[in-house]
Amino acid sequence: MAKNIDVNELNLKDRVVHIGRVTKVVKGGKNFSFSALVVVGDGAGHVGYGQGKALEVPAAIKKAVEAAKRAMIKVPLQENTIPHEVNERFSAAKVLLKPAPEGTGVIAGGAVRAVVEAAGIRDIVTKSIGSSNKINIVKAAFKALENLKDPYEYIQARGRGNQEATP
């Protein structure tokens, strides 16, 4: 997680991925609360996700947005897509992200779509394999985005100077 991202300077938009109703059975009956999974992003490579729990939906969403702002990451973009293919897993959820040519659009399921659109990725092909748990799918997608390598930084690290990176 990148700690040097100033969220106050970014124009963040939040998107609710999932609202869950949680029931706790106690001696006097049932206690209801709500959990929210939210993705925030500026559409230019910064994205974060968070979870919140509260007795009411708006309070849960607010907590999730605050948690997402604390967990922002920077995604290396190349044109409107990602620099290379990446395949990650979190628990039983597997996510495959593949770069796509311009004009393809976002081909993704609900939870992964929210993540990549918030990050500002416009052309990508994704596949979610295994679990249908939205929380684990979002975590796997974030793990995949964190493991993307910026080709320009890679060239600099190899001492290639200012040669152009090929997509």
- Per-residue pLDDT tens, the chain, 167 aa: give them: 455 677 777 889 999 999 999 999 999 999 999 999 999 999 899 999 999 999 999 999 999 999 999 999 999 998 899 999 999 999 999 999 999 999 999 999 989 999 999 999 999 999 999 999 999 999 999 999 999 988 888 788 888 765 555 55
Query: Residue 33's domain is classified under what CATH number?
Result: 3.30.160.20
Residue 92: CA count within 13 A, CB half-sphere: 5
82/148 same-domain check: yes
**DSSP calls for 64-116:** HHHHHHHT-EE---BTTB-SS-EEEEETTEEEEEEE--TT--EE--HHHHHHH
- In terms of domains, do 62 and 114 share one? no
pLDDT in tens, 138-149: 999 999 999 998
Q: Is residue 148 part of a domain?
A: yes
How many structural domains does the chain have? 2
The two tokens of residue 135 are 């929380």
**Per-residue pLDDT tens for 31-53?**
999 999 999 999 899 999 999 99
